[in-house]
Amino acid sequence: MKTGKLFATYVQAVLEHFQLPASPAAVQLLVMIAAHESGGFRYVKQMGNGPAKGLLQMEPVGLLEVVRYSQVRPDRFATLPDFTAIELDQLVFDTELAIICARVFFMAKPEAIPNNIEGLARYAKKYWNTEAGKATAEDYANAYREHCL
């Protein structure tokens, strides 16, 4: 079985345990991001001296967005960890926390999560990697196909 399929099972379980939206598209998005950003589920720190941490390679600005959104909607996140107390380095060792943070990050986005590989890849590029990032939507789609299908 491919690593991505195993990781998808774990992502689904974490989201359900913490009562976060766990649609198939949301799970697929997080798995796609991890497949690409971690170099096929291998790296938990950004190569070189970049700031991204965890299998999903969350950057400091992403964690700040999670903190901000959790403060705007505290009722939605009462059962989750206190995001203001999280250090980015924790995501290196705590994959469950990295998944929670990534899901909350995407809950703050106005656009619905697409339900096909190409749409998910464009969504990941737009919101996770941004236009300033080196990755392309094709990079996300290709990593997903290689490590998850």
DSSP code, position 51: -
> What are 8-40's pLDDT values in tens digits?
999 999 999 999 999 999 999 999 999 999 999
Taking alpha carbons only, the member of 93, 116, 91 closest to residue 104 is 91
* Residues listed for the chain: 149
Contact 5, 148 (CB under 8 A): yes
Helix and strand numbers, DSSP H then E, in the chain? 7, 0
Q: What does the pLDDT look like over 53-84, one tens digit per residue?
A: 999 999 999 999 999 999 999 999 989 999 99
Distances (CA, A) of 72 to 75, 77, 83, 141: 9, 10, 12, 32
pTM (global) more than 0.95: yes
Tell me phi and psi for residue 19, to 5 degrees: 55, 45
| Cα distances (angstroms) measured from residue 59 to each of 51, 78, 81 | 6, 24, 18
One-letter identity of residue 66 = V
